[in-house]
Structure 1
């Protein structure tokens, strides 16, 4: 799952921002217009993810995953030959299908199947590799673009996508531990006390609707990281500085994903998520001031702390889903919430690009993000009140 997260989320999602400026300039289009290919890709990922919980139970997941990997790597390779933004849109859609097959929903469903105890740590550890891949490949892709051009860099990226998934395809493993004659980690210690929720959750409840809005707003902020290289260039910093900002965000991504898993097991998922949201609010303030004053150290610190946005999107939201709606309902509820995760990410990629194109400033983006965090803290309070019995669960 670590390798799968590194390939599908780390490379195909977290590192693609390095291409926005060079490719849009080469094609003579606006950044927002080119970023639309990433938006389409993420929307298709969302639609694919919606069906993945059923598909991995019904069919051999490794065979499905092989199709997904080929779609991701081949479509990325073909982007190197594209001279039309519309062809990027088509290839982005194909890559989106591949990412959905190997993305958040199957990874978190499999980890939920295998871990009853230390679920937060296991989830955060696996998904931290998406940040690790982003941290490693962002400067690599930047240097490759400078040295070899964006066309050759797409081919190198496609090769890396395929190589990272090879261990997942080669090593024998099953979706459920019972299929290998084992039980989930921690099950034996908890089996006498655990209460299994067999009743299906009614999705039309205030709690679930609030959780969906929370997910949509939070993940719509994540697109800022893909524009950090553009933010650096907008205040006349070098492309290398932009790559460093993205790498620092991915390092923050790794650190805070591990931290939120630890905090979740130590405290509970709600407190862990609130801590990360507050940390992200602070990072947005630093980025806002860094852009205004063109202060590189503020941007470095802010970028590192901004990585906390991924800890909630990738780890916190799945843990909250499991915490509020139970293990037995996880695959059903997270299929839809995972869909919204990708919708939020998709919308932000293009909207942020156009906000800059039309205002020539990123400050408005930071202000909107802070407003979204405030709304989400209120939504989280509402969900907690209903969960704790003030109203129906």
Structure 2
């Protein structure tokens, strides 16, 4: 890999992470909801009952994200991820045999463990281990694959459900996920470059030791303010809650008397917004910082929510609003990291972990609340109205946090050289 003109193996790791995100997040998570309206229609489940399945899966997934990482150094990554991929596919396909809601709840626990071990975390760790330069580009491209896969595969799911019925379609989609996952998990991915005698991409060599220059930052003065973390916490919760609304799109469309094909199209447009959102928010953050980025994203989510409230009278609004609603995925994935780096640089890992885990857990609770609220109100329109108001409030909160930080001053930076033994 050191030869001139040869492609560094790190780029193959990025390809593996793209396949991993496409299969795990793109299929297992993003495509699951397209089945909900057909399941509820055949078996008579309420929206709230089906939403509880997503809650069970998401809560389990939040804990699994932390627990599975402890196994990375004890079990070969290829073996671990391949086993999780097989379990996830088996869970997805097993829906074809279910007739009672408790079966989805029981499966959701196992499914959540598999998804938690496959989604986002391994791709982030692998890319950070393999890239010392262009890390953001590689990670952004890998994470965007989930949106691309969702945008492409959701219409395919809709077509399969219409042609075969939802039960056979679940088996076919599970097989498709394995086709994406197993080449990456079994053959491509390695946890660290040292496993195959490589150095990370962009690492400089000095006396046989890889070195890189990094920035060591202290906490921002804003971190010492007691209320700052609470406000940041509120800001992080929002996109995780709005993400849950996207999981109800097929049920919303059914409730409004629109077609399943429209539900698949809107879900695909949400995934387009998810994909482009990660790239655009990253660029905006580099230029304007996290508070401006958060303000713009929250404003976009407010407009998207308002658009859905008028979707029955003007269906064209749904086509415009769905991509904007997809920004919630991007913001939920990126905002905890952006805030932790901006304010809590010296305690980044701790603060990031707290923001990410609690945001995911509270988002799971919101999913059930959304389903129950729609059952009580007989419509999703009040949910979208509340979402619009909350997003607008968080756009204002982003501005206030930005002003507060400017008044307290930025975090100081200190350059340092980190040396890493090539042999670990």
TM-score norm. by structure 1 comes to 0.87
In structure 1, distance between residues paired with 2:326 and 2:111: 24
1:321 maps to which of 334, 340, 349: 340
Q: Which ranges of 4 or more aligned residues in structure 1 deviate by more than 6 Å?
A: none
Q: Tell me which residue corresponds to 1:63.
A: 79
Q: Tell me which residue corresponds to 2:60.
A: 44
Distance 1:152 1:106, change over 3 A: same
Distance 1:392 1:14, change over 3 A: same
Q: Tell me which residue corresponds to 1:241.
A: 262
Q: Tell me which residue corresponds to 1:125.
A: 141
Distance 1:229 1:88, change over 3 A: same
Residues 218 and 372, structure 1, Cα contact 8 Å, conserved in 2: no
Distance 1:215 1:289, change over 3 A: same
Residues 219 and 344, structure 1, Cα contact 8 Å, conserved in 2: yes
1:27-54 deviations in whole A, cap 9, x for unaligned? 2221211221111011100111133444
In structure 1, distance between residues paired with 2:354 and 2:374: 31
Q: Tell me which residue corresponds to 1:183.
A: 200
Q: Tell me which residue corresponds to 1:271.
A: 292
In structure 1, distance between residues paired with 2:160 and 2:244: 23
What is the Cα-based RMSD across aligned positions, in Å?
3.0
In structure 1, distance between residues paired with 2:201 and 2:371: 44
Q: Tell me which residue corresponds to 1:262.
A: 283
Residue 83 of structure 2 aligns to a residue whose secondary structure is helix
Distance 1:174 1:309, change over 3 A: same
Residues 50 and 336, structure 1, Cα contact 8 Å, conserved in 2: no
TM-score norm. by structure 2 comes to 0.81
Higher strand fraction: Structure 1 or Structure 2? 2
Q: Which runs of 5+ in 1 are unaligned?
A: none
Q: Tell me which residue corresponds to 1:91.
A: 107
Distance 1:375 1:119, change over 3 A: farther
1:351 maps to which of 364, 369, 372: 369
1:229 maps to which of 242, 246, 250: 250
In structure 1, distance between residues paired with 2:153 and 2:118: 19
Residues 15 and 226, structure 1, Cα contact 8 Å, conserved in 2: no
1:259-280 deviations in whole A, cap 9, x for unaligned? 1222233443433333222222
More divergent stretch after superposition (22-31 vs 115-124): 115-124
Residues 140 and 279, structure 2, Cα contact 8 Å, conserved in 1: yes
Distance 1:365 1:120, change over 3 A: farther
In structure 2, distance between residues paired with 1:382 and 1:115: 35
Residues 108 and 318, structure 1, Cα contact 8 Å, conserved in 2: no
1:245-296 deviations in whole A, cap 9, x for unaligned? 11111112112222122223344343333322222222222222223x2x12
In structure 1, distance between residues paired with 2:134 and 2:337: 14
In structure 2, distance between residues paired with 1:361 and 1:246: 19
Higher helix fraction: Structure 1 or Structure 2? 1
* Deviation at residue 161 of structure 1 after TM alignment: 1.9
Q: Which runs of 5+ in 2 are unaligned?
A: 1-16, 206-210, 412-424
Residues 223 and 348, structure 1, Cα contact 8 Å, conserved in 2: yes
Distance 1:125 1:274, change over 3 A: farther
Residue 284 of structure 1 aligns to a residue whose secondary structure is helix
* Deviation at residue 58 of structure 1 after TM alignment: 5.0
**Which of the two has higher C-alpha Rg?**
2
Distance 1:74 1:203, change over 3 A: farther
**1:32 aligned onto 2:48:** yes
Distance 1:277 1:82, change over 3 A: same
* Deviation at residue 120 of structure 1 after TM alignment: 3.8
Distance 1:178 1:346, change over 3 A: same
In structure 2, distance between residues paired with 1:323 and 1:228: 34
Q: Tell me which residue corresponds to 2:354.
A: 336
1:295-352 deviations in whole A, cap 9, x for unaligned? 12111111122111111112343333344333x7554443333322422432233222
2:232 maps to which of 211, 215, 228: 211
* Deviation at residue 148 of structure 1 after TM alignment: 0.8
Distance 1:193 1:233, change over 3 A: closer
Residue 65 of structure 2 aligns to a residue whose secondary structure is helix
Residue 55 of structure 1 aligns to a residue whose secondary structure is coil
Residues 43 and 96, structure 1, Cα contact 8 Å, conserved in 2: yes
Residue 101 of structure 1 aligns to a residue whose secondary structure is helix
Residue 258 of structure 2 aligns to a residue whose secondary structure is coil
In structure 1, distance between residues paired with 2:373 and 2:254: 16
In structure 1, distance between residues paired with 2:368 and 2:183: 33
Distance 1:3 1:81, change over 3 A: same
